[in-house]
């Protein structure tokens, strides 16, 4: 079930990236697409470190 939720979230992220790319009127280079694909793959495999917002006092 968790994998399904992650897959849905990744799909939404991809859709948002595509929308942003279209809005900017720029196409991603093949290197950028490859890097994005690799980053998403690493995220799915749990190889990435999530950003954690630090509390400022």
Q: Is the residue at 28 inside a domain?
A: yes
Q: Is the residue at 15 inside a domain?
A: yes
Q: Is the residue at 55 inside a domain?
A: no
Axis-axis angle for helices 30-44, 2-24 (nearest 10):
160
Q: Is the residue at 21 inside a domain?
A: yes
Supply 23's token pair. 């809005």
Residue 1: the pLDDT is: 61
1-40, pLDDT tens digit by residue? 677 888 899 999 989 988 887 777 666 788 887 888 898 8
Helix (H) or strand (E) run with residue 44 in it: helix 30-44
Q: Is the residue at 29 inside a domain?
A: yes
Number of domains comprising the chain: 1
Q: Is the residue at 50 inside a domain?
A: no
Q: Is the residue at 23 inside a domain?
A: yes
Domain that holds residue 13: 2-44
Rounded to two decimals, the pTM is 0.44
């Amino acid at each position: 079930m968790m994998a399904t939720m992650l897959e849905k979230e990744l799909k939404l992220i991809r859709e948002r990236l595509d929308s942003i790319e279209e809005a900017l009127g720029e196409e991603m280079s093949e290197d950028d697409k490859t890097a994005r694909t690799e980053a998403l793959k690493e995220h799915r495999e749990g190889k990435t470190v999530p950003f954690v917002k630090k509390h400022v006092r």
